[in-house]
Structure 1
Amino acid sequence: MLLQNNQINIPSFTLVRQNSMLEKELLECFLQVVNQGIFILNENVKVLEDKVSNFCQANYGIGVASGSDALDLSLIACGIGHGDEVITTPFTFFATAAAISRVGAKPVFVDIDPKTWNIDVNLIEEKITSKTKAIIPVHLFGCPVEMDAIMQIAKKNNLRVIEDAAQAIGAQYCGEKVGSFGDTGCFSFFPTKNLGAFGDGGMIVTKDSKIAEKIKLLRIHGAKNKYCHDVLGFNSRLDELQASILNLKFKYIELWTQRRRELAILYNNLFQEHIRTDRFSIKLPQEPDYAYHVYHQYTIQTKQRDELQNHLKSYGIASTVYYPIPLHLQKVYSSLGHHQGDFPVSEDACNEVLSLPMFPELTNEEVEIIVDAITSFFTR
């Protein structure tokens, strides 16, 4: 048993190891931007926009200030506003629903598939009304939503599709990159993401030239020309320093994704030796046949989640709960009139899921220690 080492300290996530490996290149990025002296919407942003849009099989990329802004601007560019309804999942980060609310629309929640924790595509159509104008599928934890079904529903009902791919850069549905299916795809470059900046940052990709032009207008105070404001816009620009760092990291994204997948396979293989026993009651993350999962998180599900988390903590192993309260039960959405039990699969997930350490620099030995610790919990 590897647990005999009482100096265990395994973080849920850390950038320290990656930053150490990239230190020289990161310093060069910083100096290049400082010496150039242009910090907003310069060449680094343009290069990154081209890289990400090409990578995602889209025609246009627009760098913005955050993943949250990417959702806001996409909704506005797609004409979503007051009185409209937008269908999404209650099991996701708050920003997804908040963007809908900020533009004056109403979030309409649909429960999740218990296998993938993504929106259950079989439950969407029953929630569509004359006010429904869009669907925001969330590729949660790096696992793609069933986009064929989403797009068929959207086409049938004349709905916009805005992909929340904040956690899923590089993920694929049936061989095509997420973000390339909907009217827009929204990405976050928050430091913990698979492609992370040293602060907030985001990107919108689209195949639609009109949407791209509108978002470019919106991100700079609604001004196509300086001091000439055509619409009420925002200050939502990806800065040059963050873009420079992201351009550096981008060349490693496929290598890092492959490492995440290797770690997920290692977790799976080590767990498979135990989960068939009655005492070892956890559900492992699923990768459907149609999916190329990028494992932003490696998340398990167990009814003994809180006890297990405390057990891991006692060994010096960190873990994280995403997300403890479903969106329909958040205080801010009490006016929607939802109650406990309205979306039972999402509620179960909030009470039972636990994300284990997952980042490319995690070692195989550390994964073995984590699985040993979990095994020791279930075989006490």
Structure 2
Amino acid sequence: MGSCQLFSNLSELKSFVITHHNTIDICHETCNNDNNNKLNIVYLRYTIGKVKNLRPLVFSCLDKLENLDISNGSLEIIENGAFNGLEKLKSLTLSSNKLTHIGRNIFEKLINLNSLILRNNKINNIDDQTFDKQTLSSLDLSYNELKFINKYTFYGIECKHVYVGNNDKLIENFIAWNVDESKIQTDCIVQGIIQICTKLNSLSSVDVIIHDFSPDFPLPSSKLELSGISSIGRNAFNNSNINAHFKVLEIHYTENHEFIIYPESFEGLINLEDLILNVGAITLTNNLFDKLKSLNAWNFDEFKIQTDCIIQGILQICTKLNALSSVDVIIHDFSPDFPLPSSKLELSGISSIGRNAFQNSNINVYFKVLEIHYTENHKFIIYPESFETWRIPQFTAAHMNEKYYIEKHFFAARG
């Protein structure tokens, strides 16, 4: 007796579980060709099985199926058409298998699908528009090997909750993914009285969890130290109920890929004075710290900071975070006897002179006048090392048109 005939005699059977079996094929051709042999099963679970490939129409006799669970097995490949005939399916679980690729069109016939669970596989590639026209309450892609999601991966999907956590090499970029950040799974931990929440290892919020917390509540520390995050999300602190309390922010990150922060990452940290980033590779852009009006110091490797250069005549003037980093002539085979048009260097749009800004310049000996224009409200910063190897024969005067404070021996490094 074939499985088709066997199940047809069990017309009241609604739920069926298969374990430790070599096949999931309960819909043979005889069932597919005979409408009288359609089965009434609404729940099918296949677990700890050895099936590696789901062929087309493998479930075609289960047109009443609402819940399909294929988990904890050896499944590697899903062919197009494997789920054809399952128009009533609401929940599909394919967790803890060996899937590496999710192709386009695999789920297109599942017009009533509500929940799609693909967690704990080895998925590293998802075709564009794979979830097009799907309306889901939950899509779970966590615990896979995804490294990249592009703007077409989630194209056309309507989904209330997307889970992408614990893809260790996947970097948060919700805007590039073309997905609403509010739909991404949030994971929270509690440290003392503070709740720290992340989305895909990106810091999303920091709040005190005390009921009726007020601004005058004495926190144990004004320092916030974080580890295990790969980025600071946009507006991570903007709605925090304690953003005004933090004066020191220190972050530790040891992975090989780049740590990501945005100018909006610091929105709301109005009293932050010290920023310590022990995070490895990072790209810092000019407007990154615009929101940190109280910042006095930051600590990171300056050679990881993005350099921006402009050309003024024959001069190339480079800055890092609006701090002057170098001034050089860009003429090929430039020599010391080349006649420069002026011995005066006039600069604007910078907020500081970096340490050793002139040290390796090929024309530092030429300048006799340095004039800087700066109109912002926060402090202009210069260091003794800012004038390292500044080889003017005699520094005759320093003119400043605002209140200033000069430490003893400030210009000693001039030489």
> Which bin holds the TM-score, normalised by the shorter protein?
under 0.3
Identify the structure with the greater helix proportion.
1
Structure with greater strand share of residues: 2
- Larger relative CO (CA 8 A, sep 6+): 1 or 2? 1
TM-score by length of 1: 0.23
